[in-house]
Structure 1
Amino acid sequence: MRNEHTYKIGLEWKGKLTTDKRNRLRYERIYELNFDNKPSLMGSADATFHGDDSLYNPEEMLLCALSSCYMMSFFYLCSLKNIEIVGYSDEPIGMIKVNPNGSGQFEEVTLQPSICIKHKDAKEIEVIFNEAHDYCFIARSCNFNINHAPKIDYY
């Protein structure tokens, strides 16, 4: 396996330039994400930040990337220990702090997976889930706290 991988997308602004009541420029915050050999995805800023709430926003997509990468890292570790997972879902929650100048950042994310396992110790599953942080490419790239609140059931 190679040690380096490159990922590439295309982003094209699809919004309009308008002016407000004070004649200040306003950019409609709609864009299209393009991927090789995959469907395009329309996005916008969150409605709180003058975007279209019917489209995906970057904050949601960050949660998607983190949650799915964590899941795949967890599955990898379970496969090494021959642990059978029969169900997995997650409802991550991210908290953003907006600064007085309008900038902002994620302060923390809490992953809340519901994990259904077959004949194993729940404590061991929690340990493995916590270890997934060290394998998750997205988590290792984040500079905010990532908390875990897994709920474990048996099949």
Structure 2
Amino acid sequence: MIGEHTYRVRATWDGNRGAGTTGYRDYDRAVTLAIDGKPDLAASSDKPFRGDPTRWNPEDLLLAALSECHLLSYLHACVTVGVVVTSYEDDAHGVMREDGRGGGAFVEVVLRPRVTVADASMVAAAEAAHAQANEWCFIANSVAFPVRHEASVTVG
């Protein structure tokens, strides 16, 4: 299926403490992200940028999107080659570097999936499926930095 898909999200700033943005320290970075039919997501900036560390920040969301996209693409890749995955867990790690001018960018993300497969005969194909998953991952194909994989596969 080839097509174009459209996504919508409503971001609402909840951080006006009464004086708006009169000063850098005068407002909260609280944001509510909403998509019709889904639970709202409490978001903020990252703690070093005066954000609420109990809320998701854009950097968290980018890393989570890369991790989840690879996971879902990987499961599909495994189905296509007959690999039965019984468990999948990823400890993803991203590095964002500030540029000294108020901005910055991610310079790398490393995904560390730990996969368990049903049979020892599936290990090689399970390892190879990560390359296919990377090719299929919409999010990894949309970023301008490397997304590396340090995967391990075991038999359950």
Normalising by structure 1, what TM-score? Answer: 0.91
Q: Which has the larger share of strand? A: 1
Q: 5 Å matches for 1:119-130? A: 119=119, 120-130=121-131
Structure 1, gaps ≥5 residues long: none
Distance 2:147 2:87 in 1: 22
1:109 corresponds in structure 2 to: 109
After superposition, the Cα gap between the structure-2 partners of 1:19 and 1:127, relative to the gap in structure 1 and judged at 3 Å, is: same
One-letter amino acid of the counterpart of residue 83, structure 2 = I
Matched, 1:138 2:139: yes
CA distance in 2: counterparts of 1:25 and 1:116, whole angstroms: 48
Structure 1 residues 32-79: Cα deviation after superposition (integer angstroms, max 9, x where no partner): 001111110110001011101011111111111111110111111111
User: Would you say the 8 A contact 2:81–2:125 is kept in 1?
Assistant: no
Q: Quickly say closer, same or farther: Cα 1:30–1:106, change in 2 above 3 A.
A: same
TM-aligned CA deviation for residue 125 of structure 1: 1.8
What corresponds to 2:36 in structure 1? 36
Q: Is the 8 A contact 1:113 1:151 kept in 2?
A: yes
- Residue pairs, 1:55-70, within 5 angstroms: 55-70=55-70
Contact 1:94 1:108 in 2 (8 A): yes
Structure 1 letter corresponding to 2:73: S
Post-superposition shift, 1:2?
5.3
Q: C-alpha displacement at 1:25, in angstroms? A: 4.3
Deviation per residue, 1:109-135 (Å, 9 max, x gap): 000011001113433322211221110
Q: Distance between the aligned counterparts of 1:54 and 1:141, measured in 2? A: 27
RMSD: 1.8
Question: What residue identity is the alignment partner of 2:98?
Answer: V
The residue that corresponds to 1:10 in the other structure is 10
Structure-1 separation of matches of 2:52 and 2:23: 20
Q: Distance in 2 between matches of 1:121 and 1:82?
A: 8
Count of residues in correspondence between the two structures? 153
The letter for the 1-side match of 2:78 is C
The 10-residue stretch of structure 1 (62-71 or 121-130) with the greater mean CA deviation from structure 2: 121-130
1:86 aligns with 86
Percent identity over paired residues: 33
> Cα distance 1:25–1:102, how it changes in 2: closer, same or farther (>3 A)?
closer
Query: Would you identify which runs of 4 or more consecutive aligned residues in structure 1 move more than 4 Å?
Result: 17-20
8 Å contact from structure 1 (residues 19, 25) kept in 2: no
